[in-house]
């Protein structure tokens, strides 16, 4: 997890002022519509979400046993299981495999976990070429940027941005989406055919069979698992599910949540390396089970729920904050509502304090989450952790505390409350601009740094109510 160099507030400022980005982000509404349409067409969609949730609860509650069974099955099939406590260990495992097998070129398929452990930088540091092969990821890699959306990594780029980038880096001369895609196809096909290792993530890993399931649209994952002689799949330990048949439930809701498709173009179920009588497929299969802060979330009775996440991206698309600032502003690999939970969840609240506060708690994320993660509740929980100073040293906020006490007192004493507010409503005049507070006095000023505060009404609701009744 890389550290954020800019504060969230600074990044959001820049994002909101970026007219191009604002235009790009408008397409998110399309995702939301497609998702809603897809669920409307699904018989018993709500029941399926309940079922998916129940399977994830079972998977995590029995995680110890499921991981052991998964390991046993992968080994039995002739694959190799590796365990990594953190990103550094996972990178070392991959580098070691690459060195021992004289790997020069690696093709990678979209995997948030490899972003999480900053694998590309490590591979390149070791003199190994790492090529992102998902079109969006490829664009982002060529531009030396990071993905800004789980499902659509290059959503922040316009067609012309891509055209200019391809002209500069690949010497192409077109700005038509179809032709740009063909340019990438040709460039990357050559890479696929000459790569020694393919690295993928895993959407699911089945304990009972040792199978990993990979969901995609472009075919780059199929190529990464079919052509290079070594396939390395990297997954967080939370991705394991108990049974093969559970996939029927998840496959019905995953693509619908992510892109509004009934089924994505390709789903690959890889069960061990190629068998002796097969013409293609990787000869070696390695599965890396990564912790990197996941056991830390597991430890917390509440945060554990965020481990059910399928990484579908639906909560990003509906989030009014994400819709306004895009993925980069979060400064973390995982952005949007779920990113604001798992980032501090895995790495500690200290460094990522801004993220849980970057939400209006409107609940739209919870509405669409295919496994019904109560994201707003988890954001509140993390805010609470921050205030309590969990995992970090925090200057005691004496003024804030005193203000809250005062507020609590007033709320419990209606008479005092009424008198105070009537008084405030009478004297507020000189501080108002266009009938609003542009700046609140004293320590309350923080509130108005980024927004106005409405003027106090001359007549309280109680008074209006009383008058109305009479």
User: Shortest approach of other proteins to residue 276 CB, angstroms?
Assistant: 9
- β strands within 8-99, DSSP E: 80-84
CA distances 218 to 35, 181, 184, 223, 244, Å, are 19, 11, 12, 10, 24
Ordered DSSP codes for 280-300 = SS-SEEEEEEE-TTHHHHHHS
Measured in degrees and rounded to the nearest 5, phi and psi for residue 199 equal -115, 125
Q: Which is nearer to other proteins, 61 or 419 (CB)?
A: 61
Q: Which is nearer to other proteins, 167 or 295 (CB)?
A: 295
Q: How is residue 145 written in tokens? A: 């940027």
User: Shortest approach of other proteins to residue 397 CB, angstroms?
Assistant: 31
User: Shortest approach of other proteins to residue 362 CB, angstroms?
Assistant: 24
Contacts of 120 (CB under 8 A, 6+ apart): 108, 114, 130, 132, 141
Q: Which is nearer to other proteins, 185 or 377 (CB)?
A: 185
User: Shortest approach of other proteins to residue 82 CB, angstroms?
Assistant: 8
Q: Which is nearer to other proteins, 191 or 353 (CB)?
A: 191
**3-class SS of residue 51:** helix
The rounded distance, in Å, linking the Cα atoms of 340 and 359 is 9
Q: Which is nearer to other proteins, 289 or 316 (CB)?
A: 289
The rounded distance, in Å, linking the Cα atoms of 131 and 134 is 9
Q: Which is nearer to other proteins, 277 or 467 (CB)?
A: 277
Q: How is residue 309 written in tokens? A: 């996440």
Q: Which is nearer to other proteins, 49 or 122 (CB)?
A: 49
**Burial degree of 411 (CB within 10 A; 0-12, 13-18, 19+):** exposed
The rounded distance, in Å, linking the Cα atoms of 110 and 153 is 9
Q: Which is nearer to other proteins, 248 or 423 (CB)?
A: 248
User: Shortest approach of other proteins to residue 348 CB, angstroms?
Assistant: 16
The rounded distance, in Å, linking the Cα atoms of 273 and 271 is 7
Ordered DSSP codes for 134-203 = SHHHHHHHHTT---SSSS-TTTTS-HHHHHHHHHHHH------HHHHHHHHHHHHHHHHHH-SEEEE--S
Q: How is residue 334 written in tokens? A: 């995982």
CA distances 375 to 99, 310, 316, Å, are 42, 13, 12
Cα dihedral: 429, 431, 434, 437 (round 10): -120
User: Shortest approach of other proteins to residue 70 CB, angstroms?
Assistant: 10
User: Shortest approach of other proteins to residue 438 CB, angstroms?
Assistant: 38
User: Shortest approach of other proteins to residue 61 CB, angstroms?
Assistant: 5
The one-character DSSP state at 384 is H
Q: How is residue 167 written in tokens? A: 């002209």
Q: Which is nearer to other proteins, 259 or 343 (CB)?
A: 259
Q: Which is nearer to other proteins, 80 or 460 (CB)?
A: 80
Q: Which is nearer to other proteins, 237 or 368 (CB)?
A: 237
User: Shortest approach of other proteins to residue 67 CB, angstroms?
Assistant: 7
The rounded distance, in Å, linking the Cα atoms of 154 and 173 is 20
User: Shortest approach of other proteins to residue 300 CB, angstroms?
Assistant: 9
User: Shortest approach of other proteins to residue 358 CB, angstroms?
Assistant: 24
User: Shortest approach of other proteins to residue 341 CB, angstroms?
Assistant: 17
Q: Which is nearer to other proteins, 135 or 355 (CB)?
A: 135
Q: Residue 346: left if φ>0, alpha if ψ -120 to 50, beta else—which one?
A: alpha
Measured in degrees and rounded to the nearest 5, phi and psi for residue 11 equal -65, -40
What count of residues does the chain have?
Answer: 470
Q: How is residue 60 written in tokens? A: 């995590």
**Cβ neighbours of 144 (radius 10 Å):** 6
């Amino acid at each position: 997890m890389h550290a954020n160099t800019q504060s969230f507030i600074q990044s959001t400022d820049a994002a909101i002022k970026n007219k191009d980005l604002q235009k790009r982000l408008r397409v998110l509404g399309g995702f939301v519509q497609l998702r809603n349409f897809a669920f409307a067409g699904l018989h018993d969609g709500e029941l399926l979400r309940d079922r998916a949730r129940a399977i994830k609860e079972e998977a995590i509650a029995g995680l110890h046993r499921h991981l052991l069974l998964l390991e046993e099955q992968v080994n039995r099939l002739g694959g190799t299981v590796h365990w990594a406590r953190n990103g550094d260990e996972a990178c070392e495992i991959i580098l070691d495999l690459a060195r021992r097998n004289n790997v020069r070129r690696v093709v990678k398929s979209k995997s948030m976990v490899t972003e999480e452990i900053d694998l590309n930088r490590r591979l390149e540091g070791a003199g190994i070429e790492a090529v992102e092969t998902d079109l969006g990821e490829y664009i982002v890699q060529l531009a030396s940027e990071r993905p800004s959306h789980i499902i659509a990594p290059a959503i922040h780029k316009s067609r012309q941005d891509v055209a200019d980038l391809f002209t500069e880096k690949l010497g192409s001369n077109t700005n038509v989406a179809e032709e740009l895609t063909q340019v990438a196809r040709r460039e990357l096909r050559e890479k696929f055919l000459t790569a020694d290792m393919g690295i993928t993530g895993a959407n699911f890993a089945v304990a009972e069979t040792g199978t990993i399931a990979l969901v995609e649209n472009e075919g780059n994952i199929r190529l990464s698992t079919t052509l290079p002689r070594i396939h390395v799949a990297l997954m967080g330990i939370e991705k394991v599910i108990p049974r093969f048949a559970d996939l029927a439930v998840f496959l019905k809701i995953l693509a619908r949540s992510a892109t509004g498709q009934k089924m994505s173009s390709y789903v690959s179920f890889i069960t061990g390396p190629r068998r002796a009588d097969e013409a293609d497929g990787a000869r070696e299969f390695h599965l890396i089970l990564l912790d990197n802060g996941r056991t830390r979330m597991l430890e917390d009775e509440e945060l554990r729920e965020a481990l059910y996440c399928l990484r579908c991206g639906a909560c990003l698309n509906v989030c009014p904050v994400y819709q306004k600032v895009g993925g980069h502003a979060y400064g973390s690999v995982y952005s949007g509502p779920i990113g604001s939970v798992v980032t501090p969840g895995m790495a500690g609240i200290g460094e990522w304090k801004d993220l849980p506060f970057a939400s209006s708690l409107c609940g739209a994320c919870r509405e669409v989450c295919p496994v019904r993660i109560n994201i707003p509740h988890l954001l509140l929980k993390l805010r609470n952790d921050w205030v309590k100073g969990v995992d970090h040293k925090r200057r005691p906020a004496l003024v804030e505390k005193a203000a809250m006490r005062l507020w609590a007192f007033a709320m419990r004493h209606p008479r005092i409350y009424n008198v105070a507010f009537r008084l405030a409503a009478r004297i507020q005049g000189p501080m108002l601009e266009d009938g609003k507070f542009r700046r609140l006095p004293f320590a309350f000023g923080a509130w108005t740094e980024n927004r106005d505060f409405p003027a106090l009404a001359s007549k309280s609701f109680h008074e209006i109510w009383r008058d109305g009744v009479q």
